[in-house]
Amino acid sequence: MNRLLPKSLFGQTLLVLVAGLIVSLLAGSWIYSLDRSQAVRAVGGFTAAQRITNLTKLVQDAPREWRERIVAGLSDQTFRVSLSASPPAIVPNDDDTTVAQAIKEFLIDQLSLTSAREPRVSASPPDSPMFGGWRPMMGPGPMMHGFRGFGGFGGFGGFRDLQVAVPLPDGQWLSFATALPESGSAFSRQFLLSMGIMAIVILAVSVWAVRRVTAPLAAVSVAAERLGNDLNAPAMPETGTIETHQAARAFNTMQARLRGLIENRTRMLAAISHDLRTPLTLLRLRTENVENRQERDKMLATIAEMDSMVGATLQFARDEATTELWRPTDIAALVQSIVDDMADAGLPAKMEPARPVAYDCRPDALKRAIRNLLDNAVKYGKAASVAIQTTPKTIEIIIDDEGPGIPEQELSRVFDPFYRLEESRSRETGGVGLGLSIAQSIVQAHRGELVLSNRPTGGIRASIVLPR
């Protein structure tokens, strides 16, 4: 069940709103259908009672010999009228006392009847044995002036069929039998159309409102991911509600502090590396005066290695402090230029033909990362072979060498700064252990991934996977 639920804040909030909308529409439709039927029943009941009053006055004022013909003319299939010399057998139900009493009081008031000549009323519920069927729950409409007794019972909603017997002044009884009108189906085409239009409008407004509320959170997520790759990324716009404005300001402040921290560290590292050059130069001059040639050569080799480490560190610090602009670049042409330069220098490097691939990047930085990997492949793997593979979502630059490979337990450690393998990577071949660290840092700044793996046929495969 949880797999079907949305995972995002936007989806979950919208789901709650839509579920509430559906429940509210269903409840509103049900209440509307009850109220509609209630109004129809109330109007029908009032009309029937008023008609009984008018017909009773008509028959009562007519000559006795005309009453039979008048009653016969007034009676039809929906409104039965009869005249009798004795009161009809109308037995009130136990559940219709309030309704019958309200009708009786209305007739007494309209016909000016006395307590000795009270009408008999039976308001039969639809599930009674006499009528059978359906029991609605209705209430009187506002037009039922003077019919106050129906309010306490819920109006005409407690019955559907009505029987009334009214005594005439000369002892005859005028009887009426009718059924209150049905309201019909509440879910008409017009009703469903109006509900559908209302649902669409409310849903559209809900989507807009939820998107407006959750959009700043998505912007913070995107900015955080961008910050992880680029400290010099543009600041977040401080717009929106008070809360989002405060969150954006706090995020921009954090980004500025991190940028300042990195810049201070880079300046300090560059200063230390630069200052170490002076004592190294003095050591080299003093070493030249050592008479033992063997010791002098060892000392000079150590100083040269230290100078190489300082130079690499200084270059690393300078590169970190350099801010290069992003611009569209043909990755295939960029890699091909590096391979051509190495081949012109007599190094065993080649590249498989590849189609042009446009990519928005920092070309100088990415070029340095690829060159570091190619240098390692040539120095430690005898030869380098490059291929470019593309998918709709990624660009993969694959660099293979023909060396002895790297132990599996060491694959993750070779990215550590100044870490070098002594068994498979000779110290005498050069390098201070910063090449892979720099390459990984550059690739990660491009939101990519650098992966090293041992090839089944021997050698190392370095894969740069960049998102398109």
**Is the Cβ–Cβ distance between 75 and 82 less than 8 Å?**
yes
248-272: burial string, b at 16+ Cβ within 10 Å, e else: beebbeebeeeeeeeeeebeebbee
248 occurs within a structural domain: no
The sheet carrying 79-84 orders its strands as 79-84, 173-179, 161-167, 120-124
Average pLDDT of span 326-345: 92
Helix axes 189-229, 9-61, angle to 10 degrees: 160
> What pLDDT digit, counting tens, does each position of 73-116 carry?
888 888 889 988 888 877 665 555 566 777 788 888 888 887 77
**Is the Cβ–Cβ distance between 386 and 375 less than 8 Å?**
no
**Is the Cβ–Cβ distance between 177 and 80 less than 8 Å?**
yes
What pTM does this model have?
A: 0.48
**Of 100-109, 130-139, 197-206, 272-281, minimum mean pLDDT range:** 130-139
Does 350 score more than 50 pLDDT? yes
Question: Which of these three, 179, 203, 218, is where a domain ends?
Answer: 179
Q: How far is CA 250 from CA 233, 245, 262, in A?
A: 15, 9, 18
The tokens describing 344, both together, are 């012109």
> What pLDDT digit, counting tens, does each position of 267-318 carry?
777 777 777 778 888 888 888 888 888 888 888 888 887 877 777 777 666 6
Determine what percent of the chain is predicted with pLDDT higher than 70. 80
Instruction: List the CATH number of the domain containing 345.
Output: 3.30.565.10
**Is the Cβ–Cβ distance between 310 and 276 less than 8 Å?**
yes
210 occurs within a structural domain: no
Question: Which of these three, 162, 179, 196, is where a domain ends?
Answer: 179
CA dist 419 and 178 (Å) reads: 102
The tokens describing 348, both together, are 């065993």
94 occurs within a structural domain: yes
265 occurs within a structural domain: no
Domain that includes residue 371, residue range? 325-467
Does 159 score more than 70 pLDDT? no
Which has more confidence, 167 or 187? 167
419 occurs within a structural domain: yes
238 occurs within a structural domain: no
Question: Which of these three, 157, 179, 201, is where a domain ends?
Answer: 179
**CB within 8 A of 73, min separation 6: which ones?**
none
Q: What's the domain count of the chain?
A: 2
